[in-house]
Amino acid sequence: MGKAASASQRPEAEGAEAQGPAGGGVPRHVAIIMDGNGRWAKARGLPRAAGHRQGAEAARKVLRAAGEAGVECLTLYAFSSENWRRPEDEINDLMGLLRLYIARELGALHKEGIRIKILGDHGVFSPETARMVDEAVAKTANNQRMTLAIALNYGSRLELVKAAQTLAARAATGEIAPSDIDEAALEASLDTADLPPLDLLIRTSGEHRLSNFLLWQAAYAELLFVDTLWPDFDGDALRAALRAFAGRERRFGGR
212 is in an annotated binding site: no
**What is the amino acid identity at position 17?**
E
Is 194 an annotated catalytic residue?
no
Is 142 an annotated catalytic residue?
no
DSSP-derived secondary structure for 59-95: HHHHHHHHHHHT-SEEEEEEEETTGGGS-HHHHHHHH
β-bridge partners, 223: 201
6 is in an annotated binding site: no
Catalytic residue among 83, 143, 212, 227: 83
80 is in an annotated binding site: yes
191 is in an annotated binding site: no
230 is in an annotated binding site: no
210 is in an annotated binding site: yes
Catalytic residue among 35, 93, 191, 199: 35
38 is in an annotated binding site: yes
The CA angle 12-53-158, to the nearest 5 degrees, is 90
Q: Judge contact between 64 and 236, C-beta under 8 A.
A: no
156 is in an annotated binding site: no
To which H or E segment does residue 185 belong?
A: helix 183-188
Going by C-alpha positions, the residue among 166, 154, 167, 169 that lies closest to residue 215 is: 154
Please state the residue numbers annotated as binding site.
Answer: 35-40, 48, 52, 80-82, 84, 86, 203, 209-211, 222
The catalytic residue positions are 35, 83
Please state the residue numbers annotated as binding site for substrate.
Answer: 36-40, 48, 52, 80-82, 84, 86, 203, 209-211
